[in-house]
Amino acid sequence: MLTVGAVAELTNVTIRTLHHYDEIGLVRPRHRTDAGYRLYDDRDLERLQTVLFYRELGFALEDISTLMSDPDFDRGRALREQRKHLEGESHRLERMIQAIDDAIDAHERGIPMDNETMFEVFGEEQRAYQREAEERWGDSGAWAQSRRRTADYTDQDWLELKAESEAIVTEIVEVFRSGEPADSTAAMDAVDAHRQQISRRFYDCSHEMQVGLGEMYVADPRFAATYEGLAVGLAAWARDAIVANARRAGVEVD
């Protein structure tokens, strides 16, 4: 028969947690000393062990309670659902780690830099692209808006932007890899995130303009190389997804 302190040490939980489980009736030690000290016997410890097992699996305490009291409870379904939940969490975590790696990377390379960070972050290709873009769009349109809006972005802003962009691209690649067709909701949502990010960060990007970008991703070898380097067939698929997304938004595309 162990007291709270001993049980706490044994099972690696805090005393308060034991008090809490007692309060909510999840693990009630069946004995007390005359002075009111909780005393846990073997069966109490077993119950606690089972509770901790399910807690480790991420179940809520109330669900554990249900699970342990109702013998007809559908454990299989609960376990499968919990598994799905955990898998989603795991994927999310991996993406987060990826994104944070990028942020660290950018941070380490970005901090000692001045306001030219933009070129470093986006790579050398951006510099060449800038001239072309000016020719294509003129200096009074979207590109100008983009330059105005980004003029006073700090280094930090650029780092964030890069990580953000990579997260979006990662998502697009994942949807592509999963075999979703270009006109699936997942695909359209993924490319629309791209469009929205451009709108927020650079210039107001309409669906028509994004379709133009999409065409460029396929036709322009620099972009094509970048996207095909991520996954074969990605550039064309992304363009199709952009078109489908535009159509979904009621935009006419030929």
200 binds a copy of itself (CB under 8 A): yes
15 binds DNA (CB under 7 A): yes
Three-state SS annotation for 86-116: HHHHHHHHHHHHHHHHHHHHHHHHHCCCCCC
Size of the site for DNA (CB under 7 A): 21
Closest distance to DNA from the beta carbon of 191 (Å)? 26
Closest distance to a copy of itself from the beta carbon of 251 (Å)? 18
Cα 11 from Cα 55, distance rounded (Å): 13
Residue pair 48/7 in contact by the 8 Å Cβ criterion: yes
Closest distance to a copy of itself from the beta carbon of 35 (Å)? 26
249 binds a copy of itself (CB under 8 A): no
163 binds a copy of itself (CB under 8 A): yes
Query: What single-letter DSSP state applies at residue 39?
Result: E
Interface residue with a copy of itself among 128, 232, 249, 253 (CB under 8 A) is: 232
**How crowded is residue 218: how many other Cβ atoms within 10 Å of its Cβ?**
17
Contacts of 132 (CB under 8 A, 6+ apart): none
Candidate ranges 31-39, 144-152, 195-203, 240-248; the one touching DNA (CB under 7 A): 31-39
Q: Please calculate the CA angle 60-57-11 and round it to the nearest 5 degrees.
A: 90
56 binds a copy of itself (CB under 8 A): yes
For residue 169, the Cα-to-chain-centroid distance in whole angstroms is: 12
221 binds a copy of itself (CB under 8 A): yes
Residue pair 163/221 in contact by the 8 Å Cβ criterion: no
Candidate ranges 25-33, 125-133, 168-176, 220-228; the one touching a copy of itself (CB under 8 A): 220-228
Cα 247 from Cα 69, distance rounded (Å): 53
For a copy of itself, the binding residues (CB under 8 A) are 10, 42, 45-47, 49-50, 53, 56-58, 67-68, 75-76, 79-80, 82-83, 86-87, 89-90, 93-94, 96-97, 99-101, 103-104, 107-108, 111, 149, 156-157, 160, 163-164, 167, 196, 200-201, 218, 221, 224-225, 228-229, 232-233, 236-237, 240
